[in-house]
């Protein structure tokens, strides 16, 4: 199976976790896009969705799925999203698509987080994938210095020669070379840096279920 075929397989498997008649939290990224396409096939079974990014909202609406503002939602049964890395304990690095803050916010409202990914995303230790940190633009340099002091190599994410700007009007600093021994502790430490909006570590509130696409089919992990 190709990587895309594995992503499609977990996207289909994730439909089993969609609760009929309710509002679903939906993440951002290539795997989440496959899930949205599958969700579009059963859109009449759900009330609608909350999106973790403007791109996700647009894709949901293109399938005729009603998109709700999170401020109007008290709780959700499930949030379904991908990951850039995930451990056997359910800790994740997310933010390759620059939607980490909204992903973390939407996930916090859901009773259950289902992570969908191809099997290559399962790692023993987080950190091979650069750790995204969303920062207030005026604090980018000072935050980068403090991230460097933690042992990583911070790089401002740029595209076409300009800083990538998130849906929140902020910048992304990617931190390379970290060996993340205690994801939850590092998440708290980075979030405490003044100027950080949030870090792309999802460990204090990680996944509850992992659906991983492999050559042998979809593997389920319970955390």
Q: Measure the CA–CA gap between 108 and 36, rounded to whole angstroms.
A: 20
In this structure, what is the dihedral angle of CA atoms 22, 35, 87, 154, given to the nearest 10 degrees? -110
Going through 108-170 in order, the beta strands assigned E by DSSP cover 113-118, 131-135, 153-156, 158-159, 162-163
In this structure, what is the dihedral angle of CA atoms 104, 29, 36, 103, given to the nearest 10 degrees? 10
Beta bridge partners of 118: 213
Collect all residues with Cβ–Cβ distance below 8 Å to 149 and sequence separation of at least 6: none
103 noted as active-site residue: yes
| Active-site entry in 38, 103, 134, 187 | 103
Q: DSSP assignment of 53-64, as one string?
A: SHHHHHHHHHTT
Q: Measure the CA–CA gap between 56 and 14, rounded to whole angstroms.
A: 17
Q: Which residues are catalytic?
A: 103
């Amino acid at each position: 199976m190709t990587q895309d075929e594995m992503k499609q397989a977990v996207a289909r498997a994730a439909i089993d976790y969609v609760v009929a008649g309710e509002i679903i939290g939906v993440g951002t990224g290539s795997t989440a896009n496959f899930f949205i396409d599958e969700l579009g096939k059963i859109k009449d079974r759900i009330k609608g969705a909350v999106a973790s990014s403007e791109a996700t909202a647009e894709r949901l609406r293109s399938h005729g799925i009603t998109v709700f503002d999170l401020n109007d939602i008290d709780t959700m049964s499930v949030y379904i999203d991908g990951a850039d890395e995930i451990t056997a304990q359910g800790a994740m690095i997310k933010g390759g698509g620059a939607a980490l803050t909204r992903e973390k916010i939407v996930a916090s409202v859901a009773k259950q987080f289902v992570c969908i990914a191809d099997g290559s995303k399962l790692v023993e230790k987080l950190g091979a994938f650069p750790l995204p940190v969303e920062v207030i633009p005026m604090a980018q340099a000072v935050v980068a210095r403090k991230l460097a002091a933690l042992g990583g190599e911070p790089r401002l994410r740029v595209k076409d020669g300009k800083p990538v700007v998130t849906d929140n009007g902020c910048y992304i600093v990617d931190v390379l070379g970290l060996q993340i021994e205690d994801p939850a502790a590092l998440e708290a430490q980075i979030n405490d840096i003044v100027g950080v909006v949030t870090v792309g570590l999802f460990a204090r509130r990680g996944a509850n279920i992992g659906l991983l696409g492999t050559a042998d089919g979809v593997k389920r992990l319970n955390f």
